[in-house]
Structure 1
């Protein structure tokens, strides 16, 4: 099985370096270009299934990737980006001023502490793990999954035995393609392609 994970194209919130997951924002012109480039790299692959998160930025990226091809695009809430609650749409400087105590707690324990009204990283990992457990039960050869940076990093942790300490050891740029293979019961990262 070949799993092709694509991080959605750039948005204005990416450019401004804000924390956001729940916010539903559009791709920038550069984000559209990134999706087009990723689409060129994947155009020779016939996908058995195509998934995207429920967010416009992921759905739009998937639609651009698959331009002129007929696929049923299935959305799944388990591969939505982390919900940052009251931290949504704000950068770290704003958070230090608006939520000094919550920001401090979050920085000290980023895995377990939830932003006010949001999810902890543990919450995100649990739903990503549940999604991956289900995907690996499928008997498909090629699956495209368009999602978010936090989800993709969580998938790397899943591959590495569920060790969440690896979360920050991988980059995930907008438009990146991560090819993950599942063969003979082994799951591994085959390549990470920057567009």
Structure 2
């Protein structure tokens, strides 16, 4: 099965804000960014199953790719809990340092750890394998993409952030 991962377009939020699962829409450059993605990703192909995070910034893009999108909460970005919508510079430095030193196992306060995200995304992938699709498109977030990329390429999670991803980036792999 071919899996195509598509990162959402630029979210409508100021730089420097923590926004994992906050439901943020897209910026005014959305249509311009989508036009580039549409040249690289199959659109409304009946042989492809389209999945997406239900968060607005993914949903808007997914609905441009297909009129039949399956939304799955396991494709959401990392839940940053109490840090959501705070400026990174305003988050308690001690808490942030603890998280930065072991972001794989340490959750943000009232949020989830990266291993939690990894467990839900690999659970999704295991379920996907059982469906025997030929090709799928997943519209999702950078954290999810890194998690799945690490899983399929046997990369330790702590090294997965070496994969740099821009808004609208596309990765693919075979299961």
Asked if 2 retains the 8 angstrom alpha-carbon contact of 1:86 and 1:118, the reply is yes
SS of corresponding position for 1:133: helix
Q: Give the TM-score of the pair, scaled to structure 2.
A: 0.91
In structure 2, what is the equivalent of residue 73 of structure 1? Answer: 69
Structure 2 unaligned regions, length at least 5: none
In structure 1, what is the equivalent of residue 88 of structure 2? Answer: 92
Aligned length: 174
Cα distance in structure 2, aligned partners of 1:44 and 1:9: 16
Cα distance in structure 1, aligned partners of 2:23 and 2:147: 21
In structure 2, what is the equivalent of residue 64 of structure 1? Answer: 64
In structure 1, what is the equivalent of residue 138 of structure 2? Answer: 145
Instruction: Give the C-alpha shift of residue 173 in structure 1.
Output: 1.1
SS of corresponding position for 1:12: coil
Instruction: Give the C-alpha shift of residue 153 in structure 1.
Output: 0.5
Asked if 1 retains the 8 angstrom alpha-carbon contact of 2:44 and 2:65, the reply is no
Q: Give the TM-score of the pair, scaled to structure 1.
A: 0.82
Q: Which has the higher contact order (CA 8 A, sep 6+)?
A: 2
Query: Structure 1 pair 94/32, CA: closer, same or farther in 2 (3 Å)?
Result: farther
Structure 1 unaligned regions, length at least 5: 183-195
Asked if 2 retains the 8 angstrom alpha-carbon contact of 1:8 and 1:35, the reply is no
Structure 1 vs Structure 2 CA RMSD: 1.8
In structure 2, what is the equivalent of residue 37 of structure 1? Answer: 36
The structure 2 residue matched to 1:106, chosen from 76, 93, 99, is 99
Runs (4+) of structure 1 exceeding 6 A deviation are none
Cα distance in structure 1, aligned partners of 2:100 and 2:43: 43
In structure 1, what is the equivalent of residue 170 of structure 2? Answer: 177
Comparing 167-176 and 155-164, the one that deviates more: 155-164
